[in-house]
A and B are shown apart, each in its own frame.
Chain A
Amino acid sequence: MSLEILAVDDSRTMRDMIRLALEPEGFTVHTADDGVHGTEVLSSINPDVIITDINMPRMDGFGFIDAVRDQNHHRATPILVLTTEAAPELKMRARKAGASGWIVKPFDPVKLVKALHMVSG
């Protein structure tokens, strides 16, 4: 069964990279440009894992995670945060917001795939 992923990042480059890393591995990748767009896309799909950036216009990653967790059927959907900072405070903040894990940019495709399998079980 192919896993369905929603990747939210305001950088087209990042979205392209995620797509490039995941599609050959059999993932179905949906993308969104920011938190607001992410919630819109989310209303029409049911991803197995959500990947989100933190710094985004309109609605940032923290806000987006909040919005996702507020939806009952996404309370347990794994969310990976993509961040350039590996600072522990940021990880803690992401986790507090409800993120399941994190991937440090620039990401290693193998690690990303592993992390996705890790959180999706």
Chain B
Amino acid sequence: MTETVNGVAFLALAFATIGGAVMMLATRNVVHAAFWLLEVLIATAGLYLLLSAEFLALVQVLVYAGSVTVLVIFTVMITLRRREDAVRPFEPGWGGAIMAALFGGSITFAIAQFTSKMPAGTFPEKTPDVAAFGEKLFTTWMVPFEIASLVLLVALVGAVWWSGGDGQ
């Protein structure tokens, strides 16, 4: 039963991921492309969740879907003067086609060649969950974790300094 559910969920997520990627490339509007990218990233987070990688899914949503996409949209907002500029014509060229063929070919070759040589993985009976990860993070790795928070604090103060106006 669970196998079928997983299979259906995987197919749905795979379709969402690949379909979203194709749509992102196919759309003429930069803003639409950014939103399709968001959709791809969230669907990938779903795939991670399906593999019981809860923390990775969380990070994927927070960092990629959250910050990276927002950054892309901000960049588009700041650099585009007019609404019409967001729409770009599609200009396929031989260079792009050759690059795509080379990349696709090498990936296909690598998968076909090396998959059989890899040792068969076993799915662990119980995957470590977010609670176990948190325990590790706040015991063994507490010192680097706290230092990382200081790095962020410095970055924040620095950003405020550089973006601050004159004579304040």
Whether A associates with B in a native complex is no
B contact set with A: CB distance below 8 Å: none
